[in-house]
Structure 1
Amino acid sequence: MTENRLDTILAQAGNRNNHDQYGSVSTPLYFSSNFRHPSLEEVEASDPHSGYSYSRLSTPTRDVLQDTLAKMESGCAAYAVSSGMAAIQLVFSLFKTGDKIITSDDLYGGSFRYFDYLESHYNIQFTKWNGTDYDELQQLVSPDTKAIWLETPSNPTMKIIDIDKVANILHTANPESLVCVDNTFLTPVYQQPLTQGADIVVHSATKYLSGHNDLLGGAVIAKKPQIAEELEFNFNTTGVTLDPFDSWLLLRSLKTLSVRMERHTSNAQKVAACLSNVPCIEKVLYSGQGGMVSFYLYSEDKVRQLLDNLKVVAFAESLGGVESLITLPAKQTHADMTEEARQKLGITSTLLRLSVGLENPDDIIEDIVSALGESLGQENPSPSPYANIN
């Protein structure tokens, strides 16, 4: 029999696992922080697979979740951690002072904040790449390059990066270098970076993987055992592990990931198309898949009017949940960047990021249009300076 397809892996998550003696279809939740040893011989054998001892090291519930995370991203091992930033920190525990790393230039603002910290405190050397010019990337990469860090689509301007092309450039220069991809926006439903040449995938599991705006979590998935071995040591040593209850909640949420992503996409496609016809909206940015849409308004007054008058869409941080959320990146997720850096990327005071939820799409559209005091169908004014952002 061939390997199960993604939809089946997700729907069957936790069923027929080896951690439950009663044949439960839904994985039980194990709250225990520690476990009895059957004998001294087991302890003396120091066999990590002989049983459970302490929940920081492993728990049955988290193990089932991690098995599912690895399968869904076609990896050899996965690690469930306490937040998306904890996932990023776990990956960067692989590097040391003086290492040279390339990042795409449009990322979650918290990533840049952490990279700035690593550069100032640990002299890890970061170089930004614009994410579109592969000839430039060829020039930036050297045999000393240890890794490249990508988001695709990027956050918040929705740049699409060819993972396979990036991996070929990097691995040709240094076969031991790591291609690391944040797959939070598209999830493995639409993108599986490890099958496209990447070495490590990360998720803010708070977002689409959990999908209900009710937990914090992160995930790191490794392609090769040698990478996984070092990640596992750091994972257990630093204690960034996800607790059993949130592991159970996340595992439960993964069962509906495929159907949720289909609805997020169909809703976002309709919302993006309609917003492009709203007179006070300059430009709509959408990758064509997933639920993330960004758009520019013509004035800051319209931004305030929109955010103060929404009735369905919530003005709140985060993304990927069943409820639609909207944020102002320049003042929220990317506020720690310099004004110059934000302007260069097009993260202006009139750029909004919309996480399209699972409500009826017509209600989402009507809510935004009504809050703006606009109507559909009129021609837009002249294009903005940012109209060519992809």
Structure 2
Amino acid sequence: MADVNEQWSARTRAIVAGRPTGREQPMNVPIAPASMLGLAYAREDGTPTWAAFEEALGELEGGTATAFSSGIATASAVLDAHRVGATVVVPRDSYAGTRAYFGHEQETGRVKVVSVEPTDTGAWIEAAAGADLLWLESPTNPSLHVVDIRKICEAARRLPDRPTIVVDNTFATPLGQQPLSLGADIVVHSATKFIGGHSDLLLGVAVATDPSRVKALRDARTRIGATPGALEAFLALRGLRTLPVRFAEASRTAAMLARRLEEHPAVTRVRYPGSGAMVSFELADADRADKVCEALRLVRHATSLGGVESTVERRAARPGDAHVASGLLRLSIGLEDPEDLWVDLNRALCAVN
């Protein structure tokens, strides 16, 4: 694979990392639709397609990446390394799928779950004592709370029996923050979202620097069979190549829309962490929010996010997100013309004001 100069920008490294070199080599790593390579099953040793994607994402996050079949499969592999009865600390506002997974594991007696407010750093530090796993997410889904990752990591690492610290970096992406450099042990992504970027794949990934953690993640992937498909890995790598330019453009649009939404009389609150391609905003009630979703024509009413198309959803209507403000709309910004997006949003908002 290509040698990557550490002095190159993330934009350049996203293009170069994991790419074949040599005059006779293809420009891209081919899809490897193989169930076995030699005498080993692909789920044991991986494929060249996985390896290229893992090399490229690891380069951006500053660690060694391990790809999984989905984001939840990634969470399962992380938990696999911990004893039965482990205490897991999670933010109250976070991806509903992750909370549902840990909730199920608690119901079966696998773990004990402790929930804390995302922005209550003192509560995180207090909960870290006696915990086995801290599962941070920043910004959170869907309320876009920002967690003080560095301070929590510093405090947790001083504990004599310190917990494993995991950060879900799906919303920020490695372009917005690198949690490993802030003290985290493992960074996870739903590569289904911004990394893939085209709403056409399911994939998860975990990144770590400690070789023993990397081995544990890969051993868990093999045991539970949570392996990525060859086509999914190929598409995720292709999406990663354009992540820097996609994310930068979508972030510029998000900042502009956040400013305009703050001034709109139908909007009661705007949640925007100051960077990134996600904006959440609130209307007076659920009925008005639902009507906005129905009135939008360019912005798609859909549950996923991070693609080239803009999507919106009233998250309180989804299972597991009853804690979210009833009128909150989570808006994922794509690559449409910013003014076209604003015309669509403004028209829908004015219709319910």
The residue that corresponds to 2:78 in the other structure is: 91
**1:323-338 → structure 2 map (5 Å cutoff):** 323-332=309-318, 335-337=319-321
Kindly indicate whether residue 259 of structure 2 is the aligned counterpart of residue 257 of structure 1: no
Kindly indicate whether residue 56 of structure 2 is the aligned counterpart of residue 68 of structure 1: yes
Counterpart AA for 1:206: T
SS at match of 2:206: strand
| Distance in 1 between residues matched to 2:239 and 2:53, nearest whole Å | 11
SS at match of 2:89: strand
Superposed displacement of residue 15, structure 1: 1.9
Counterpart AA for 1:24: P
SS at match of 2:108: helix
Give the counterpart of 2:348 among 371, 375, 382.
371
Unaligned runs of 5+ in 1: 38-52, 381-390
Kindly indicate whether residue 11 of structure 2 is the aligned counterpart of residue 7 of structure 1: yes
| Distance in 2 between residues matched to 1:299 and 1:237, nearest whole Å | 46
| Distance in 1 between residues matched to 2:162 and 2:187, nearest whole Å | 16
| Distance in 2 between residues matched to 1:313 and 1:136, nearest whole Å | 37
SS at match of 1:188: helix
SS at match of 1:255: helix
| Distance in 2 between residues matched to 1:370 and 1:260, nearest whole Å | 26
Superposed displacement of residue 120, structure 1: 1.1
Superposed displacement of residue 373, structure 1: 2.7
The residue that corresponds to 1:125 in the other structure is: 112
Question: Would the aligned equivalents of 1:13 and 1:251 in 2 still touch at CA under 8 Å?
Answer: no
The residue that corresponds to 2:28 in the other structure is: 26
TM-score, normalization by structure 2: 0.93
Give the 4+ runs in structure 1 shifted more than 6 A: none
Superposed displacement of residue 175, structure 1: 5.7
Kindly indicate whether residue 200 of structure 2 is the aligned counterpart of residue 223 of structure 1: no
Question: Would the aligned equivalents of 2:194 and 2:305 in 1 still touch at CA under 8 Å?
Answer: yes
The residue that corresponds to 1:171 in the other structure is: 157
Kindly indicate whether residue 235 of structure 2 is the aligned counterpart of residue 234 of structure 1: no
Kindly indicate whether residue 272 of structure 2 is the aligned counterpart of residue 286 of structure 1: yes
The residue that corresponds to 2:93 in the other structure is: 106
Superposed displacement of residue 124, structure 1: 0.9
Question: Would the aligned equivalents of 1:81 and 1:218 in 2 still touch at CA under 8 Å?
Answer: yes
Counterpart AA for 1:108: Y
Superposed displacement of residue 191, structure 1: 0.6
How many residues are treated as equivalent by the alignment? 348
Counterpart AA for 2:51: D
The residue that corresponds to 1:206 in the other structure is: 192
The residue that corresponds to 2:253 in the other structure is: 267
Question: Would the aligned equivalents of 1:13 and 1:254 in 2 still touch at CA under 8 Å?
Answer: no
| Distance in 2 between residues matched to 1:128 and 1:205, nearest whole Å | 25
